[in-house]
Amino acid sequence: MDLSMRWLSEFVEIDTDAHTFAEDMTMSGSKVEGYQTEAAEVSNVVVGKVLSIVPHENSDHLVICQVEVGKESPVQIVTGATNVVEGALVPVALDGATLPGGVKIKKGKLRGVVSEGMLCSLGELGLTTHDFPYAIEDGIFLIEEECQIGQDIHDAIRLNDTCVEFEITPNRPDCLSVIGLAREAAVTYKKPLRLHEPVVKGSGGDISEYLRVTVENPVLCPRYTAKAVKNVRVKPSPLWMRERLRASGVRPINNLVDITNYVMLEYGQPLHAFDAKYVEGGHIIVRNAHEGEVIETLDGVERKLNSSMLVISDPQKAVAIAGVMGGENSAIMDDTNTVIFESANFLGSSVRVTARGVGLRTDSSARFEKGLDPKNTYKAVMRACELVELLDAGEVVDGIIDVDNSPKEPTVIRFEPEWINRFLGIEVPTEEMVDILTQLGFTVEGDQITVPSFRGDVEHKADIAEEIARFYGYDKIPVTAIRGVAKAQLTPIQKFERTIHQTLQANGCYEVMTYSFISPKYYDKIGLPESSPLRDSVVISNPLGEDTSVMRTTTLPSMLEVLSRNYNNRNASFFGYEIGNEYIKKEGQELPDENAQVTIGLYGDCDFYTLKGMVETLLERLHVKTFDIRPETEHPTFHPGRCAVLFLNDVRIGILGEVHPTVLQSYGIGTKAYLAKLDVNALFSLADPVVEYRPLPKFPATTRDLSLVCNEELPIIEIEKTIRASAGSHLEDVKLFDVYQGAQIEAGKKSVSYSMVLRSAESTLTDAEADAAVKRVLKALEKMDVVLRA
Amino acid sequence: MKTALENIKSTAAEAIGSCDDPKALDALRVRFLGKKGELTAILKQMGKLSAEERPVMGQLANEVRAAIESAITEKAAVLKEKQLAEQLRAERIDVTMPGKRQVLGKPHPLTLVMDEVKEIFLGMGFDVVSGPEVELDHYNFEMLNMPKDHPARDTQDTFYINDNVVLRTQTSPVQVRTMETRRPPIRVISPGRVYRSDAIDATHSPLFHQIEGLVVDRGVTMADLKGTLEIFVKRLYGEDSVVRFRPHHFPFTEPSAELDVMCFNCHGKGCRLCKGEGWIEILGCGMVHPTVLKNCNIDPEEYSGFAFGMGLERIVMRRFNIDDLRLFFENDQRFLDQF
């Protein structure tokens, strides 16, 4: 809402500068976004009177003017304009003047003749013919206002208003008006609010001769008020009105249109003016639109309606979309004789849905949708008629149409000053509270507060507390600490996730953050079969675009995107991880399961075992102790020979592997890449964080190295498992230290070397004991065709 | 004999003095003091001396021996030191060459600051709670005093799954869920992902992070709200931060406020950073609306509370002078490595 300070001053006296005003209003709850003085860039431009015009000796199109500018002697100005006449009042930019756009005027010579300044057009002052309809576009602005020679142009043509831009919150539609803001300003500065009661003289006749109104849906239209004006005279509005509209950011059009805009700005009540002769049978019906009904609105666009929308109609056709925009078919034209001013109240939610439905948000709908005061319709239409008479724009027909079904019971709230003080933590005397409320338009009687009809947002004593707080001053509320014991801590799962972050970062992984929504096409990119249940995503019904249209059921594509972007940005190597959710639909649940996953992605300086080592380190750090790893050949995203799944107590908790070449290709990754994904909650539930101290060994360990030969297909882990199972209680550790295939080994076989660490807690192990353990191991290995290398 | 001894003494002194090698020094020891050394050879002639001369010569011989021994020891120490010095010189490396480093990953900048915020609130006794991102309209809006046709819904462009299910536009539904399951006193923050249908550009993202907080107890006042949030801002931005609370409107709080911090750059005068306002908006807050408490079966006559919420991305962007929000979700290593 752009507020003209001059307009405001009609209702309340403000004697601070704009900067302080902006600060004060912001702190009392009307947020000021900024302010601007009109034509601030224009300086040293005054009103001049053209005394004489003589031709320029050296030019056909230039003339030399002597212009009186209120100084001892007239100034000489050379101009090329053709509309200047002797005796005309013109804006003169004197030597050193500035104009919009950073233009500077300097004394100079034009074809050998001294020119001490410039005569200005409207455009050169930053104005248009909308602001001064009597002037011409391309010529000097010949001023018709009452003004003095030598007067500063700002004052002379009232180009001296300040416009303050407010951000009005949706709960305060009453502040989308000069009067509403004036009320706030009056309370802020403890100044009286000077309201005006419109007075209409009238010119006889009766509105019933022109119009009758039927409201078919009083829920959507609680009140419909209308006045008629006959013998209208369409012409430009006077300067004062144009000037206020301009300062409020509204372009002046003609007196009738300007009056509706003026009243909307002043009262916050949108008015609609239409030509009575196009209303069939003089009968207005406020009804729901027919399904599929079409109306061409004033902006020349055809709008398709549905039956939830309210229209203003005659018996034949709709003439306006209620509260949104009028129809082209009833617009005011030059030949209009009788105008109907409609000042109605429509249900906010209905206007909101309608405006959205037809894709048209207007100044009018923006006000209606917040819920306006039904009591305002009468005053607003009377004010419009008052202005019609003031502007001599037509003759106001007597009588008024007022179909009023609006609720009449005001909101009453108990006045509890002690509660308010306690709630806010302040001590404001009751009288001060009463003063604030009374000034705001509330009525306080005993312990009852009656809320004014224009304050639909006030329903509860907490709302009253806010009114008190705003004008008492938020900055005066003291600063205290919350009482009570503070005993917060991170939950076990939060600490668990923290450990995941720390461990993976220590392993060289950068944390990444990706969108939770993806394109369903990404499922193709990672090779998911058509039948995969993972394709059944939670779908966003109104997505921004396909790329962000479904909630991911797997984090793999998100990580692949990250790898791809880094690869294509020529980062040589990238290790990344993310803890993020997968969203899995569940039968019989309205909301999907949101399963947190830790996803790791690597490429560059790494291989499968880098990734596996990282996963193993992570699991160790998380106290996930006994997990099982099995080859996985079926997952479409992974290399069938380089993929494994992790099981813990037969629960599948994750997958890791090299990315399938086809998938790499679809992501444009030109190098091998590796992905792992582990279910955070599964890990958490299976982790055993209990740590028990074991005394450090007192006796030395004995080491035995085993070089074995086995079938090349045998997974190494089987050997290790067997060693662990058969070596006996003295086995402390088994480490693989070499795997070899080549010249010395028979084809189809591989050599595998282990180092066994044996130790007893009771004594130094004898060679015999160690050898016995080795023997047991070899015997067990023999059964699976694993033998000592010759 | 005396002359011979003195000769040995001076020869030895000279030889030791000019020796510059530990091995040669050892050879000198053998030459002069060894069993077959020069001094021993002379001492073997002691027998030939008279009884008067013998003790005199004996003493002299001992003095010569002591002198040679001490000269050798001293020299040995000097040579050892010299050798060490040479070794150290030889082992000198170019310490300006780069170190051998472990690859170190880093937290995402959003997490970095999020953790800081969590820590501040943990320190003030706030638990950290979370809830679903795909959320019921009921929790995201209705329980928060925003029924279906509420105009405030327009300010939060919502992604809908269906009529009843949305992507949460704020983390406030977590507060509602908390109030449903915990009884006062409640002191929680709910950080997390939120979603609004804003097209992606330098300052907008359909996904961003919020941190909201809630306090409910008997006798919680607006002064408590001011106190708590002022402490938070000072911890986050420094003790010298200047804070103001300015009236605002949210459907789920009453009274509502926005908290501004005086622009760090211009100290309130107005500059490009604060868009000329002199203040930078940090968070929204207010006293929990009685209707919201009632919706959660908490009696607003007995209890009161306050709530607040802030966007993480904007705080992080300001902290590091990041001018494009998209960088957070592009995850380019060259970006991630800077934090």
Task: Give the closest-approach CA distance of A465 to chain B in angstroms.
Answer: 7
For residue B222, give the nearest of A349, A469, A514 by CB distance.
A469
How far is the C-alpha of A342 from the C-alpha of A103, rounded, in Å?
A: 46
For helices B2-18 and B53-90, angle between their N-to-C axes, nearest 10 degrees:
0
- Can you tell me which residue has the tokens 């804070």? B243
Residue A174: list chain B partners with CB under 8 A. Answer: none
In a mutational test of the A interface, the residue from B118, B156, B226, B331 whose CB has the highest number of chain A CBs within 10 Å is B331
A479 — contact with chain B (CB < 8 Å)? yes
Q: Under an 8 A CB cutoff, do B249 and A170 touch?
A: yes
How far is the C-alpha of A227 from the C-alpha of A274, rounded, in Å?
A: 11
Task: Give start and end residues of each alpha helix (H) in B165-322.
Answer: 172-181, 222-237, 290-295, 312-320
pLDDT (tens digit, 9 = 90+) per residue, B158-178? Answer: 999 998 999 999 999 999 999
> What token pair was written down for A316?
């034949």
Say how many C-beta atoms besides its own lie within 10 A of residue A539's C-beta.
14
Quick one: what percent of chain A has pLDDT higher than 90? Answer: 82
Rounded to the nearest 5 degrees, what angle is found at the Cα of A19, between the Cα atoms of A17 and A24? 95
How far is the C-alpha of B35 from the C-alpha of A398, rounded, in Å?
A: 148
Task: Give the closest-approach CA distance of B93 to chain A in angstroms.
Answer: 28
Instruction: Kindly give the confidence (pLDDT) of every residue in chain B, 339 residues in length, as a single tens digit, with 9 standing for 90 and above.
Output: 778 888 888 888 888 888 888 888 888 888 888 888 888 887 788 778 888 888 888 888 888 888 889 989 999 999 999 999 999 999 999 999 999 988 889 999 999 999 999 999 999 999 999 999 999 999 999 999 888 877 667 666 899 999 899 999 999 999 999 999 999 999 999 999 999 998 899 889 999 999 999 999 999 999 999 999 999 999 999 999 999 999 999 989 999 999 999 988 888 888 887 877 888 999 999 999 999 999 999 999 999 999 999 999 999 998 899 999 999 999 999 999 999
pLDDT (tens digit, 9 = 90+) per residue, A284-319? Answer: 999 999 999 999 998 989 999 999 999 999 999 999
For residue A469, give the nearest of B159, B255, B291 by CB distance.
B255
Which pLDDT score is estimated for A486? Answer: 75
Residue A489: list chain B partners with CB under 8 A. Answer: 122, 127
How far is the C-alpha of B225 from the C-alpha of B307, rounded, in Å?
A: 8
Whether residue A672 contacts residue A664, with contact meaning beta carbons closer than 8 Å, is answered with yes
Residue A455 has pLDDT above 80, yes or no: yes
**Structure letter (DSSP) for residue A154:** H
Alpha carbon dihedral B248, B250, B255, B261, in 10-degree steps, equals: -40
How far is the C-alpha of A56 from the C-alpha of A66, rounded, in Å?
A: 12
How far is the C-alpha of A174 from the C-alpha of A182, rounded, in Å?
A: 11
Which pLDDT score is estimated for A633? Answer: 93
Closest CA to B132 of A539, A512, A584: A584
For chain B, the straight-line distance linking the first and the last C-alpha, in angstroms and rounded, comes to 85
Residue A391 has pLDDT above 70, yes or no: yes
Which pLDDT score is estimated for B156? Answer: 67
**Structure letter (DSSP) for residue B274:** T
How far is the C-alpha of A322 from the C-alpha of B302, rounded, in Å?
A: 45
How far is the C-alpha of B110 from the C-alpha of B115, rounded, in Å?
A: 8
Rounded to the nearest 5 degrees, what angle is found at the Cα of A219, between the Cα atoms of A262 and A369? 40
- Can you tell me which residue has the tokens 């037509």? A394
A565 — contact with chain B (CB < 8 Å)? yes
- Going by pLDDT thresholds of 50, 70 and 90, the confidence category of residue A257 is very high
Phi-psi region of A117 (alpha: psi -120 to 50; beta: other; left: phi over 0): left
How far is the C-alpha of A403 from the C-alpha of B272, rounded, in Å?
A: 53
> What token pair was written down for A130?
């909308």
In three-state form (DSSP H/G/I as H, E/B as E, the rest C), the secondary structure along B207-250 is EEEEEEEEEEECCCCHHHHHHHHHHHHHHHHCCCCCEEEEEEEE
- What's chain A's average pLDDT? 93
In a mutational test of the B interface, the residue from A510, A567, A579, A617 whose CB has the highest number of chain B CBs within 10 Å is A510
Is the ipTM above a cut-off of 0.90?
no
Q: Under an 8 A CB cutoff, do B254 and A353 touch?
A: no
Q: Which residue segments constitute the domains of chain A, with CATH numbers given? A: 2-38+162-189 (3.30.56.10), 43-156 (2.40.50.140), 207-404 (3.50.40.10), 414-476 (3.30.56.10), 492-686 (3.30.930.10), 702-788 (3.30.70.380)
Q: How many CB pairs under 8 A join A and B?
A: 245
User: What is chain A's alpha carbon radius of gyration, rounded to the nearest angstrom?
Assistant: 42
How far is the C-alpha of A399 from the C-alpha of B66, rounded, in Å?
A: 140
Burial class, A588, CB count within 10 angstroms (exposed 0-12 / middle 13-18 / buried 19+)? exposed
How far is the C-alpha of A684 from the C-alpha of A641, rounded, in Å?
A: 29
pLDDT (tens digit, 9 = 90+) per residue, A727-760? Answer: 999 999 999 999 999 888 888 999 999 999 999 9
Q: What is the DSSP string of A15-73?
A: -S-HHHHHHHHHHTT-EEEEEEETTTT-EEEEEEEEEEEEE-TT-SS-EEEEEE-SSSS
Quote the pTM value: 0.85
User: Judged by CB atoms within 8 Å, which residues 407-466 of A form the interface with B?
Assistant: 422-426, 460-463, 465-466
Q: Calculate mean pLDDT across residues A85-106.
A: 92
- Can you tell me which residue has the tokens 């409640």? B186
pLDDT (tens digit, 9 = 90+) per residue, B252-263? Answer: 999 999 999 998
Residue A171: list chain B partners with CB under 8 A. Answer: 152, 249, 251
Which pLDDT score is estimated for A743? Answer: 84
pLDDT (tens digit, 9 = 90+) per residue, A704-731? Answer: 999 999 999 898 888 999 999 999 999 9
